[in-house]
Amino acid sequence: MALLHRAEMHPTKFALLAAWLPGRPWYQGPADVERVASYRFDDPAGAVGVETMLVRAGDGPVHQVPLTYRGAPLDGGDDWLVGTTEHSVLGRRWVYDGCADPVYAATLAAAVLADAGQAEEFFEVDGRREHRAPTMDIAGSGTRGTEVPPVGTVRRVVEDDLTLIVTDSVELAVVRRLDGGTASDGAVLTGTWSDQPTPLPLAYARLR
Residue among 112, 174, 130 at smallest CA distance from 1: 130
Distance CA 136, CA 63 (A): 14
Q: Where are the domains of the chain?
A: 2-207
Tens-of-pLDDT digits for all 208 residues of the chain? 455 555 677 899 999 999 999 999 999 999 899 999 999 999 989 899 999 999 999 889 999 999 999 999 999 999 999 999 987 666 689 999 999 999 999 999 999 999 999 987 666 666 667 766 789 999 999 999 899 999 989 999 999 999 999 999 999 999 999 987 787 889 999 999 999 999 999 999 999 8
DSSP string across the chain: -EEE----EES-HHHHHHHHGGG-TT--S-S--EEEEEEEE--TTS-SEEEEEEEESTTS--EEEEEEEESSPPTT-GGGEEEEEEETTTEEEEEEEGGG-HHHHHHHHHHHHS---PPPEEEEETTEEEEE--SEEEEESSPTTPPPPP---EEEEE-SSEEEEEESSEEEEEESB-SS----SSEEEEEEETTEEEEEEEEEEEE-
Strand 196-207 to 170-175 pairing: antiparallel
| Residue type (1 letter), 71 | G
Distance CA 157, CA 96 (A): 13
